[in-house]
Structure formats: C-alpha cells, structure tokens
A and B are shown apart, each in its own frame.
Chain A
C-alpha cells in the first residue's frame, strides 16, 4: 500500500509518514526530499514551510537514486495536500467515534484541516485510510501526559498552533451509586475527562498564546451544570471542566479564548450506556455535527470564559 506525502502530495511513499503512535517512518520523500523524523522532529521544519520552499525552488524531483514517475505532474500532486484558503487548523480529541468523529468529518467536509487523536488504533487507522494528508490522525491516550506532549509537539512543529482545540474525549462509568462504582472506572473517568483536558491545554495553549489567537473548547455536559443519581463521577468530572475553563479564561491573554460547551444530548455510545433504549430519541452525531460545527467555527476571543450550549 502506498502513502501520501503531507508536504508535496507524492502518492507513493512506501510507508505511512507516521506510525499510529506518531513515530516517524524515517522515509525521505523522493519527490520533495522531506525526511520524516528529521526535517520535522529534529529540525523543526513545518510541512507548510517545506512546501513553500519546494514550490519556490521550482518543485524539483529530490531523489538522486529514484527517478520520477512517467508523466510526473508536481503541481497536480501538490494540489491534493494544499489546505484550502481560509481553512482552519482544528485539533479534536476523542475523534474515533461519537461526537468527535462526527465533528472531524464535518470540519474536513467544509475545507478545514483536522488533526485528531483517540485511544483506538483501529479507529485511527480507519480515519487515516478515509482522510489522508493534510489531515493527521494519531493514537493518543489524552490521560497520558507524555504521549500528549509528543503529539502536541509534533503537530505544532508540522502544522502550527491550532485555530480551534476541541477537548471532546470523555468516558463515563457504568450507572451505579457512587459507592458501587469500581475504583478503576472512577480513575479512568477522571483521568480522561479532567486530566486529559488539562494535558492537551498544557501542551497546546503555549503555542496558541504565542501566536496570539485561538479558541479552546472544553466539552462540558448538562451534567456539568446539574446533577443526577448514578452518574456522580461523570458529574464531578464535568463540573471540574466548568471550573477549570473559567479559571483558564482569566489566565489567557487577549485573543485566545477558553469556552465550556454543553453539546446537548446526542445518541452516542456513551448516552446508550446511560439511557439504554431512550437514547434513540436523540439526534445521531452526524446530524448534531451539522449544528455544532458552524457554532464551533464561529467562536472567537469575544466568547472567552463563557459556558455555552450547542443550539437546538
């Protein structure tokens, strides 16, 4: 199987430029000469800078040992990976399923570049197959601070600071009174929902602050502002999201915003675990994304510190 170079669009790389965990292939693109694992990880050359340099140098075939394909057309090749004018760079956590997946597909369909992560390697592999460069999907557990650090460092180097960071990744423990929830489920819920959000903010916010613009959207919930029995840990995690977002908003400089967003009630796997058959009365993620996507794209510095709801 061949793979596409995210810099020049060459469609016949022998390996994916990145493994599912984000490790470089160490392949040198014979078309543009970009070396994955060196030009990005070691020398800090972004895809955009390398693309511009290659273009301004006349899009010369780079390899000394491999000839270009017959009837090689670099301009047509390049068009396949050139981000659309006006498109935003959007990072989405938890993008392998549910709302995250639906949002990623919405943003891509509307000309934006999406860099997403999720815990499921199969889901990431499927997204990569469906959406090639310049989109970028990596298997990352947001509760693993080191993994988020590596992911953020690479994305910021290769793509730049995000215009929109969507902290969507979340899990919920099985419905039960608090004293009956297994310790492992409590730990996982807090690790993903709270620490995961904190991790991504810690590693992406400095680049957004340095650039002077960007919006951080932390997914809250109706259960981040009200309570119900048998979901105490989830409530606790989403109340935490509301609190940390409002504190963060007071720390961010002009131009950068943090928003807590209640997405509403959507028929996802998570909802089905709480509502069982009742989940079917709520919209599917793809339908929800048609409302949520434009709402997210319209957020800006003016919204800093607000607790918002996706409109019905």
Chain B
C-alpha cells in the first residue's frame, strides 16, 4: 500500500513537472571571471536544473537545486571570455535555452541568435506566374527521398539538449513528408525529410519552452508561429507535425483561426 502511494505521488510529480513554465526570461549575472549566476522563476514549485557546455549540441555539464519557484545557480570553473550554451528547466523537462559570455562579459539575451534552432530569414518573393505554375510543375526528376523510420541515422541532439525521437514518432503523415520536405525543406536548410521533421520537432520544443504564440483549432490542430524567425508549424493534437514552413504573407499568423493556447494538448496534465 505504501509503495502504491509512493508510486502515485511520483506519477503526480512527473505529470506536474510537464506543466511548469517560466514566469519571465532568466537572468544571467556575471559572478566573477570564472563564474556566472543564472536566476529564474517558475509558475509552480519544481526542481531546478541547468545543463551547460561549450556548444548548443553538447551540454555536458549540469547543476541543480531544490524544489521551489525561485531558482539561482552559480556555475563555477568557467573559462573566461568563453561563450557557454545552457538549457534551463526542471529535472525532467527543459524550459528555455540560451548562451552567455563567461568572465564578466555582457550576458546574451535569452533569444541569442547563436542559440536559435531556426535562423531568421526574410520572406521569399515569388512572382505570381511562378506561384501558379510552380504549383503544378514538377521539380526536376529525382528519386523520392527514402524514409527509414526504423533504421534512420541518428539525428544530432537538438539545441535544448534532448535527443530527437524517430521520424515516425514526430511527423503525422509519413507518406506526405517527402512532399512537405520538397516544398519547405529549403526554408530551414533541411538536408533530408528526416532532418526537416527533426527541425519541426525542435521548433515544437522551443515553442513550448519560450512560450511562442500558439492557437488551438476546432479539429485539435495546434498552430505555432515565431514572430522573430517567421517560422510557422502546425501539429496534431498528439504533437506530431503536419507542416513546417515560413509564410510569405506578413499577416499569415493573424489570419489563422483558433483560440490562444498556453500549453499544447500533448503536454497537458
């Protein structure tokens, strides 16, 4: 009975950790030549964890503190004048990412472009005729990129420190993925359908961590937009991606239906 109670308490704690959010961007305070203090607040009590390293892809150091809403961790032994990348979150779930310069330099903003998974790009201008003819003209014949959901090569760790799941778990309709990649892969410099799907997943994770604007439609579709990078994605209720691209129209996001959403359904408690 006692074990059962502990199990449910742990289960409850795990569920709760998914609903935790930052109340504001974290502060990075230079504490000395070889140290920095990261300070942040959560909207509900949870443990604090910082993973950090010299590359966004390799956050191999970590520090943690106790359960609470206000957290401050001082990272010591840093190399002076060196940029460090970090992921702040709970023990279970990253909430935001960024970078800072160790050794008293000016801290980087939370949305430091060097830590972004998606780089900003101006909207593409396509002549009207090309828009219409491009709709039906087939690109130069090329074999359809083969999907290897079960044996695909490992995708590198994302900017917020979590391994990207297999494509079959992150893209809704695998049959249509090559067509989406053919049309929108270039928007993000994707090298393959798997890479394109992985970038959509990273965008989804970042959207939650950074509280990007989201809308929930009547059919369960969740649409997400990053005004800074102009990246747009739509996800099914279960979090699998439907599309990922950069709209050309400046008012595209405003014209999307749905109610504003704080927490998407795939992580709702």
Residues of A that sit less than 8 Å from B by CB: 14-16, 19-28, 30, 32-35, 37-39, 41-45, 49-50, 53-54, 57, 60, 62-66, 121, 139, 147, 150, 153-154
Closest residue to B177 on the A side, CB-wise? A65
Residues in B neighbouring A63, C-beta threshold 8 A: 176, 179
Which of B71-79, B94-102, B162-170, B252-260 contacts the other chain? B252-260
Contact check, A43 vs B144: say whether CB atoms are below 8 A apart.
no
Residues in B neighbouring A65, C-beta threshold 8 A: 144-145, 175-179
Residues in A neighbouring B175, C-beta threshold 8 A: 65-66
Provided the pairs A41-B255, A150-B255 are in contact, do residues A21 and B135 lie with their beta carbons within 8 angstroms? no
Contact check, B136 vs A50: say whether CB atoms are below 8 A apart.
yes
Contact check, B179 vs A23: say whether CB atoms are below 8 A apart.
no
Given contacts A21-B218, A65-B178, 6 further A-B contacts (CB under 8 A): A20-B219, A23-B219, A27-B242, A34-B135, A39-B135, A53-B132
Residues in B neighbouring A60, C-beta threshold 8 A: 136, 138
Residue B158 at the chain A interface, CB threshold 8 Å? no
Contact check, A26 vs B258: say whether CB atoms are below 8 A apart.
no
Interface string of B91-127 (1 = CB under 8 A from A): 0000000000000000000000000000000000010
Between A20, A33, A38, A153, the greatest number of chain B beta carbons within 10 A of the residue's beta carbon is seen for A38
Q: How large is the interface on B (under 10, 10 to 19, 20 to 34, 35 or more residues)?
A: 35 or more
**CA A19 – CA B219 in complex, angstroms?**
6
Contact check, A64 vs B257: say whether CB atoms are below 8 A apart.
no
**CA A291 – CA B76 in complex, angstroms?**
84
Which of A19, A33, A62 contacts B257 (CB under 8 A)?
Answer: A19
Contact check, B217 vs A19: say whether CB atoms are below 8 A apart.
yes
B224 to nearest A CB, angstroms?
12
Contact check, A23 vs B257: say whether CB atoms are below 8 A apart.
yes
Contact check, A27 vs B176: say whether CB atoms are below 8 A apart.
yes
Which of B131, B223, B249 contacts A45 (CB under 8 A)?
Answer: B131
Residues in B neighbouring A41, C-beta threshold 8 A: 247, 249, 252, 255
Residue B38 at the chain A interface, CB threshold 8 Å? no
**CA A24 – CA B218 in complex, angstroms?**
11
A270 to nearest B CB, angstroms?
26
Contact check, A62 vs B138: say whether CB atoms are below 8 A apart.
yes
Contact check, A153 vs B242: say whether CB atoms are below 8 A apart.
no
Interface string of B159-197 (1 = CB under 8 A from A): 000000000000001011111101100000000000000
A171 to nearest B CB, angstroms?
22
**CA A25 – CA B173 in complex, angstroms?**
12
Residue B248 at the chain A interface, CB threshold 8 Å? yes
Residues in A neighbouring B248, C-beta threshold 8 A: 42-43
Residue B86 at the chain A interface, CB threshold 8 Å? no
B232 to nearest A CB, angstroms?
9
Between B178, B221, B252, the greatest number of chain A beta carbons within 10 A of the residue's beta carbon is seen for B221
